[in-house]
Structure 1
């Protein structure tokens, strides 16, 4: 006779331990991304003698590294387990920080961009922390486990910028060399944290056992097309404006600390709402939340176009973060309607590759746009893509309503 244990009596002590470790690792190791975002355009700008439009290349390299790391991260952890994958990525992040610091000392732009790229590759593993937190949790505790890790993401938005402020002048007059040495140190702290994880390796299945429809058939669905387009635009527009903002703020006479704190508020706005975004999606629907996110992105541009005071930049960055949260998380929720359980890993990996590929292109182009056409052009470009995505959402709603009436 089999006795089932109610969820209320399931021992989640291991899951809580893992979730706490991953939340701390997210707060420490996850700060690398905000460090690169806040400083890399400024470092790149100082290194370049002629073509300043390439100043945002290091941030683009980080995002591209994340795009290229999404699929290998899944393969490595599926074969060797979460802990091994996370530990290896943390060491790689430390190497990336040391390489970037050495490049700053040597004034080597391409080497610095390579260090940022490697940091992005390691960051692809950090993106998996929230999923790993749910691996050993009961169904009742899974949402809380994920929330704990998201809380770590909020802290990372503070740790990164504060690290920049504390270390940027450590080796003055060589700015930010100490910051990237500190980034390497943060990655090593994350290494020791994830070393204490206890997550069993997943069982591997052959491709034949996995089954599923052809990828082309999945990607041809209307809902997939709209979800992917909205996710790409939400993330790419956010990246384009965010990458250009520190340079624009310095160009308008504001300080490096002002720019760094602006990125801090932006990252907090990106991750802070995650605690209740899911509830809002459940109450108002995925498409409405995506639409609100797109309108917030447009609102960011409106505020940015109204002036170049500190308040304009900071409010615009906060709206940009909120718009990304609603737009990207809502689009991700829409994507979950397009695949079966056995198709999940492949579709998620392909979607992430598309998203981060476009994000890399957006962050790279933002430097050229800012240098050649100015800050107003960067912000104006948000509007046509917002209109496009809202049009796609309307098209999807009409098509699905027609399908329901004819069914």
Structure 2
């Protein structure tokens, strides 16, 4: 089916081809993030001689790179098209992997952190794969197109950690140097796939279409405040605990392979439920799903505080992934109620910048908190923020019910 209008081009055959390519690219190129999550703190810990609290800086640099890349990614792809943006980002990802490998060989912490930041910037484009898959799809096929790309995200959670396990000793005794060479190779494979993606550039918007309310007005809405707060806390708390977990596992005598497999199960738990989270939101409501996600984040910390065995770490990581999925996706769905179609790009970019900015702060502080106060403190810090967000959700629901009654 192909339909052309002055506003869009709908072609499900092209959409299916793009969705398959983008799903495969997500599985291969998207594995870079899980590679950095699984190994970045460990590499940083090995490189630092004195202040080990900075070991999580590489992961923070990756997240900060993603935050700074969200707005440029949108601008570049609006100007030059999806394929040009994706291919350029894949090249940057390959360069980041090569630079990171060189930094590991040279034992250069700042250079390694810079490489992770560049990889994070490239990752901002990967975040757009699921939207690109729906660009030419009909309304009926859009959910399937997005699901196909999300399936690639699930596979990325396997490809990344398995790459770490297979390559960590490639240049022994220099651990993980081969891992980042492999990361560069994965980005080049993704580049080959992305070269075949075909998405027509959208028509330029008229001044009227590009308008909308001032951002300050949108951000003052109670629903925006609560959805942004829940999205930030869901992602930042996940980052706080996840970033510290590999270091905590190694500190408890577990192996790098145990840590990598733990991250693998965590990423699978993050993306796996995405195939039915939307249906759960439609059935039970956005606020209820966000509440369940926050409760799962708290359950993660409860399990983590119960012991230091491998089963405790892995179970906590799975609960952490599930909590992120329900909390963040539910909060994102809440956010969609706060803007008009012509305001979408600005509000989404602003929200992503806020989220990844706080996530970077959480991952950066994670190492310092772990080093100074211990694993238990990292997990205890989750509870007050969960309680705060649950309180905000309850306040919003009651406020909206009162408003409906008054109206």
| Partner residue in 2 for 1:26 | 26
Separation in structure 2 between the aligned mates of residue 325 and residue 209 of structure 1, nearest angstrom: 33
Alignment of 1:354-369 (within 5 A): 354-369=354-369
Which residue of structure 2 lines up, in the alignment, with residue 74 of structure 1? 74
Question: Are residue 99 (structure 1) and residue 81 (structure 2) matched?
Answer: no
Q: Show the 5 A alignment for 1:211-226.
A: 211-226=211-226
Q: CA deviation digits over 1:290-311, x for unaligned, max 9?
A: 0000000000000000000000
More off after superposition, 205-214 vs 286-295: 205-214
CA distance in 1, matches of 2:290, 2:400: 17
Give CA-to-partner distance per residue, 1:119-138, whole Å, 9 cap, x none. 00000000000000000111
- Determine if the alignment matches structure 1 residue 149 to structure 2 residue 174: no
- Equivalent-residue separation in structure 2 for 1:82 and 1:399 (angstroms): 41
- What is aligned with 1:247? 247
Distance in 1 of aligned mates of 2:323 and 2:338? 23
Counterpart of 1:315 in structure 2 is: 315
For residues 298-309 of structure 1, the aligned pairs below 5 Å read 298-309=298-309
Q: CA deviation at 1:208?
A: 5.0
Between the aligned partners of 1:206 and 1:76, the Cα distance in structure 2 is: 19
Structure 1, gaps ≥5 residues long: 5-9
Alpha-carbon distance change, 155 to 108 in structure 1, aligned in 2, over 3 angstroms: same
1:47 Cα offset (Å): 0.2
The match for 1:120 is 120
3-state SS, counterpart of residue 210 of structure 1: coil
Counterpart Cα distance in 2 of 1:209 and 1:342: 6
Cα distance change of structure 1 residues 368 and 192 upon mapping to structure 2, 3 Å threshold:
same
Q: May I ask how many residue pairs the two structures share in their alignment?
A: 400
Alignment deviations for residues 351-396 of structure 1 (CA, whole Å, 9 cap, x no partner): 0000000000000000000000000000000000000000000110
Within-5 A mapping of 1:4-403: 12-205=12-205, 207=207, 209-403=209-403
Instruction: Name the SS of the counterpart of 1:399 in structure 2.
Output: helix
CA displacement, residues 186-219 of structure 1 (integer Å, 9 cap, x when unaligned): 0000001000011001112255541100000000
Q: In structure 2, what is the equivalent of residue 7 of structure 1?
A: none
State the alpha-carbon separation in 1 of the partners of residues 194 and 114 from structure 2.
Answer: 25
Report how far residue 350 of structure 1 moved.
0.1
**Using a 3 Å threshold, how does the CA distance of structure 1 residues 353 and 219 change in structure 2: closer, same or farther?**
same
- Structure-2 separation of matches of 1:197 and 1:203: 19
What is the DSSP-based 3-state SS (H/G/I as helix, E as strand, rest coil) of the residue aligned with 1:140?
coil
For the aligned residues, what is the CA RMSD?
Answer: 1.1
Report the TM-score, using the length of structure 1 for normalisation.
0.97
Query: TM-score under structure 2 normalisation?
Result: 0.97
CA distance in 2, matches of 1:326, 1:274: 9
For structure 2, list consecutive stretches of 5 or more residues without a partner in the other structure: 5-9
How big is each residue's C-alpha offset from its partner over 1:3-57, in whole Å with a ceiling of 9 and x where there is no partner?
Answer: 99xxxxx862111100000000000000000000000000000000000000000
For 2:240 and 2:26, locate their aligned partners in 1 and report how far apart those are by CA, in whole Å. Answer: 24
The whole-number CA distance in structure 2 between the counterparts of 1:13 and 1:213 is 37
Aligned counterparts of 1:139 and 1:387: Cα–Cα separation in 2: 38
Distance 1:367 1:204, change over 3 A: same
